[in-house]
Amino acid sequence: MPRDAFELACRLARDAEAVCRHYLSNGRRQGRYWTVGDVRNTPGRSMFVRLSGPESGPGAAGHWTDAASAEHGDLLDVIRESCGLVNFRDVAEEARRFLSLPRAEPRRSPTPVRTPVPAGSPEAAQRLFAMSQPIPDTLAAAYLRNRGIKAVHDAGALRFHPRCYYRPDDSSPTETWPAMIAAVTDLDGKLTGAHRTWLDPDGFSEATLGKAPIDTPRRAMGGLLGHAVRFGAADDVLAVGEGIETMLSLRCVLPAMPMAAALSANHLGALLLPLTLRRLYIARDADAAGDAALTALTERADAAGIEALALSPRMGDFNEELRAFGVGALRAALRIQLAPQDGVRFMRQGTARTG
């Protein structure tokens, strides 16, 4: 059986068209090539896989190039990216399964076969989050620091992907940009979607606030309605708002208070509330959409017997306020908007942690 990646790649290249039909099913054969949108099996024509040629070297069968992104590789890379795999051991096992070869070594429990999933589905969101890396010491952490969020109390909801796919529309080539990835979860903690904030690799500017210079630097995928990016587990008290940066700004002052970002005003108004909740803080954005979301969610909370209190920024949102006035001023502004018991319960802890 193959003893290294080179031999395994050669075995796959001998059946290059069969590999492409299985893992790049959204493509088609054109002469001596298989064409598809990209290595993750997106429909399109920018990626070319050689179906014939020598076993190795220039022009080898199984080698591919994406004209849009300049990426290239072999059929092991196709299996890794199209199946959302991370470890080479899993890639090699999937390749052996396809080739009907024995496993490299016995394992106590087999790894489930991972097959391509529809783009934008909850399954695709789960794989994207799993393929991303922890946020410390990444461009995403630097992005948040530049937004005034020096201590990232994210409760594991955020990750970083150095080369996250971005496509302006279905007819445009695929691009890759670094991105902050946020897990969207339901009330039970199950990941239902993911939110991507593409970042500028050249750093922060006042014009873009560190986001990538593209048309839509923020996009969500998967199941969103009723769900949120959650920072901490809610019990009787919860603070909610629209944006990730808005809620992380509040977490700088109140790191012990559970919070959730619904990602938009419409989704904020439709957010599902925990059955144990007794008091809900709604961090409103200072615009018409924010007012509508505040009204809708307040009415739903009242109907469920939950006390709803608005948190109102002096500027457009709480991240603007944090950047303009600093943590101390934000703490003072929030203190008078909290219920007295929550000021004692959460503000004291926030003061101790953030200085």
Q: What is the pLDDT along the chain (355 residues), one digit of tens a residue?
A: 344 688 888 899 999 999 999 999 989 998 899 999 888 888 888 899 999 988 777 788 999 988 877 788 899 999 988 888 777 888 888 888 888 876 655 444 444 444 555 556 788 888 889 889 999 999 999 999 999 999 888 888 999 999 999 988 878 888 999 999 999 999 999 999 999 999 999 888 888 899 999 999 999 999 889 999 999 999 999 999 999 999 999 999 999 999 999 999 999 999 999 999 999 999 999 999 999 999 999 999 999 999 999 999 999 999 999 999 999 999 999 999 999 999 888 885 444 333 3
What pLDDT score was predicted for residue 159?
Answer: 95
d(CA 232, CA 317): 21
Cβ count within 10 A of residue 172? 13
CB 264 within 8 A of CB 295: no
**The two structure tokens encoding residue 152:** 């990232």
CA distances from 353 to 141, 235, 255, 256, 335 (A): 19, 21, 8, 9, 16
**The two structure tokens encoding residue 352:** 């101790």
What is the arrangement of strands in the sheet containing 47-50, beginning at the earlier edge strand?
A: 28-30, 33-36, 47-50, 64-66, 72-73
Q: Is the pTM here over 0.85, yes or no?
A: no
Q: What SS3 class is residue 66?
A: strand
Q: Please tell me the number of Cα atoms within 13 Å of 122 on its side-chain side.
A: 10
What pLDDT score was predicted for residue 117?
Answer: 54
What pLDDT score was predicted for residue 232?
Answer: 92
What pLDDT score was predicted for residue 178?
Answer: 95
User: 101-122 burial, b if ≥16 CB within 10 A, otherwise e?
Assistant: eeeeeeeeeeeeebebbeeeeb
The burial of 202, by beta-carbon neighbours within 10 Å (0-12 exposed, 13-18 middle, 19 or more buried), is given as exposed
d(CA 233, CA 129): 19
What pLDDT score was predicted for residue 5?
Answer: 80
What pLDDT score was predicted for residue 118?
Answer: 55
What pLDDT score was predicted for residue 103?
Answer: 60
